[in-house]
Amino acid sequence: MSKAGGNAGAAAGPTAAAAAAAVQKQKTLLQKADADVSSLVDNFSALINIARVNDPPVRNSQEAFQMDMRGARMVHSADSLLKLVSELKRTAIFSGLASLTENVDRRIEVLSQQAEGTERMLERIGQEAAGSLKELEAHYYSSVVRTPPYE
């Protein structure tokens, strides 16, 4: 059992590297998602603080500008999150394909090992059959009971 696991680990070098790259990419995507969500929350909190006064004439141009900027930042963060979700979907699909490929590679390796074992077994059986046939032939020619050849 450990022999098959060792061979799978040795053969999966490129697959292991791809998996490590996928893990690194997922970490990067999670950091990006965290930053985008934090940006959304911060900008929304700032918008709420700026917009406490409901009377538009009381608002000055600086507050209006700040609200516009915060709103634009929220839209940017939401767009970034949307792109991130799309990228996460693609990553999930491709990691699923990578895992499928890895399983196929492992299965190919197991079947190759079984084929090698079968070839060795057939070779041994052939050698035993050849030895038994020679032994049978030797017994036949040394036998006194053998029938005389036809003339």
The span from the CA of 1 to the CA of 102, in Å, is 18
User: H helices of 1-151, where?
Assistant: 2-11, 13-50, 61-142
At residue 5, the pLDDT reads: 42
Give Cα 135 distance to the centre of its chain.
Answer: 56
Confidence of residue 119 (pLDDT cuts 50, 70, 90): very high
At residue 124, the pLDDT reads: 92
Residue 12 DSSP class: T
- Provide the token pair at 136: 């049978």
Which is more confident, 8 or 24? 24
Which is more confident, 96 or 11? 96
Q: How many CA within 13 A on the CB side of residue 115?
A: 6
Q: What is the mean pLDDT of residues 17-32?
A: 79
Give Cα 108 distance to the centre of its chain.
Answer: 16
The span from the CA of 2 to the CA of 8, in Å, is 10
- Residue 56: strand, helix, or coil: helix
The span from the CA of 102 to the CA of 31, in Å, is 27
pLDDT digits (tens, 9 = 90+) for 26-71: 788 778 877 877 877 777 777 777 666 555 555 677 777 777 887 7
